Amino acid sequence: MQAERLNPPPRLLMGPGPINCYPRVLSAMSTQLIGQYDPVMTGYMNQVMALYRDVFKTKNQSTLLIDGTSRAGIEAVLVSCIEPGDKVLVPIFGRFGHLLKEIAQRAGAEVHTIEVEWGQVFQPEQVEQAVAKIRPKVLAMVQGDTSTTMLQPLEHMGEICQKYDVLFYSDATASIGGNPFETDKWQLDAVSVGLQKCLGGPSGSAPITLSERYVETVRKRHHVEAGIKAAHHSEGQGSRIRSNYFDIPMILDYWGDERLNHHTEATSMLYCARECAINLLEEGIDNSIARHQLHGDAMLAGVQGLNLTPFGDLQHKMTNVVGVYIPDGVNGDQIRQQMLEDFNIEIGTSFGPLHGKIWRIGTMGYNARKDAVLTTLQSLETCLRQAGHKLSPGSAVDNAYEVYRANA
């Protein structure tokens, strides 16, 4: 087969992620490879651990990368700590809560769920009531669910988990770097994320952090692979973790002092994850959150200027993505297609009960920028106007400018 030269169109990715990469992250990915045990490489691995401790705001020694997209991080955390029959509680407020449920079930858990309507979040009392009743081993909760654009407050969940001796895990893939996240202060035992949202990288690496309590739990299931086992390796009492690739005790042996061989670390993704963290920390986490808030507010004001209705409880909206109802009489897919074909701008559709009802527009990472916001609003205005949607021309961009002026 003859394939053309790689030359993707210059899209502006304004959906719920992935988004365009920071240019420095792209350059890092094209850097030459080195060997797995080259001291320079192991040095980079140690740097990545230290950098992500700062990103996650934690002192956890066990802070590292799982190779794979964000759900690889989720699978690794859950499959390593869940033994068949363990109870797991998943409060579901969107698609990714359902994903946590499914992954926990596949790991053999007895999964219990509580649900709120999409567009809402949980109160701590609702979660505490369920924890007290079910007494799960793990509470697994998404922070920012891009499917609904809601940001679940996690501040009080850690206290609840400590009180009932529950491991507290959160998937902060879509929120980290653009919304506050405090691993130690909020008493989390495990967190997993991805690069393709506010961290401004591609998907393909899942940074995680694990508390001592979590590590002690999974160490009980430590079984070293036969071909690399040495005399000093003892067998854990717990059952063997059901996945080799996502076996956290073995992965910790690889990232730790022993450097015991496991997978071949995905070097280009490690360069990339390293660059994403450096980029965030150089900007400053608080500055990055403030930037996401500013451009998210400008986009929200802008879509309201388009005579569109935002989706969900705006008090709990993530900074980096907004959902808007597709207006009556407008074909949502056609507008998205026109945005893509005529303006090279991608905006998002939605899933499940919201499919065909809302668009999702992101302002995150490299694309949390004034020009990206204004260009998207202006283009969307043109498409909506041509589709016969009633709006006041110019209001969207003017509304966004108003937000920028008020925050100047």
Ligand X SMILES: Cc1ncc(COP(=O)(O)O)c(C=O)c1O
Give the number of other CB atoms < 10 A from CB of residue 244: 12
Q: Which is nearer to ligand X, 67 or 83 (CB)?
A: 67
Residues 151-180 within binding reach of ligand X (CB under 6 A): 171, 173-174
Least spacing, CB of residue 68 vs ligand X, in Å: 7
If one asks whether residue 194 binds ligand X (CB under 6 A), the answer comes out as yes
Q: Which is nearer to ligand X, 203 or 376 (CB)?
A: 203
Q: Up-side HSE of residue 40: CA atoms within 13 Å toward CB?
A: 6
Least spacing, CB of residue 174 vs ligand X, in Å: 4
Query: What whole-number distance in Å separates Cα of residue 95 and Cα of residue 102?
Result: 11
If one asks whether residue 148 binds ligand X (CB under 6 A), the answer comes out as no
Q: Which is nearer to ligand X, 207 or 332 (CB)?
A: 207
Least spacing, CB of residue 272 vs ligand X, in Å: 14
Chain-centre distance for alpha carbon 310: 22
User: What are the angstrom distances between the C-alpha of 118 and each of 88, 130, 150, 328?
Assistant: 21, 19, 8, 20
Residue of the chain from 70, 149, 170, 187 that contacts ligand X (CB under 6 A): 70
Q: Which is nearer to ligand X, 73 or 327 (CB)?
A: 73
Query: What whole-number distance in Å separates Cα of residue 208 and Cα of residue 69?
Result: 12
The secondary element (H helix, E strand) that includes residue 88 is strand 87-92
Residues 50-69 within binding reach of ligand X (CB under 6 A): 69
If one asks whether residue 17 binds ligand X (CB under 6 A), the answer comes out as yes
If one asks whether residue 128 binds ligand X (CB under 6 A), the answer comes out as no
Whether the Cβ atoms of residue 267 and residue 275 lie closer than 8 Å to each other: no
Q: Which two tokens stand for residue 264?
A: 């071949």
If one asks whether residue 319 binds ligand X (CB under 6 A), the answer comes out as no
Q: Look at the block and give the residue holding tokens 């043109």.
A: 382
Q: Which is nearer to ligand X, 147 or 379 (CB)?
A: 147
Q: Which is nearer to ligand X, 149 or 376 (CB)?
A: 149
Q: Which is nearer to ligand X, 17 or 136 (CB)?
A: 17
Least spacing, CB of residue 66 vs ligand X, in Å: 11
If one asks whether residue 75 binds ligand X (CB under 6 A), the answer comes out as no
Query: What whole-number distance in Å separates Cα of residue 259 and Cα of residue 365?
Result: 33
Interface with ligand X: number of residues (CB under 6 A): 13
Q: Which stretch binds ligand X (CB under 6 A): 138-146, 150-158, 213-221, 274-282?
A: 138-146
Query: What whole-number distance in Å separates Cα of residue 264 and Cα of residue 103?
Result: 24
Q: Which stretch binds ligand X (CB under 6 A): 33-41, 50-58, 105-113, 139-147?
A: 139-147
Give the number of other CB atoms < 10 A from CB of residue 136: 23
Which residue pairs, CB below 8 angstroms and at least 24 apart, start in 132-135? 132/164, 134/87, 134/89, 135/87, 135/164, 135/166
If one asks whether residue 203 binds ligand X (CB under 6 A), the answer comes out as yes
Please give the residue ranges that form the binding site for ligand X (CB under 6 A): 17, 69-71, 96, 142, 145-146, 171, 173-174, 194, 203
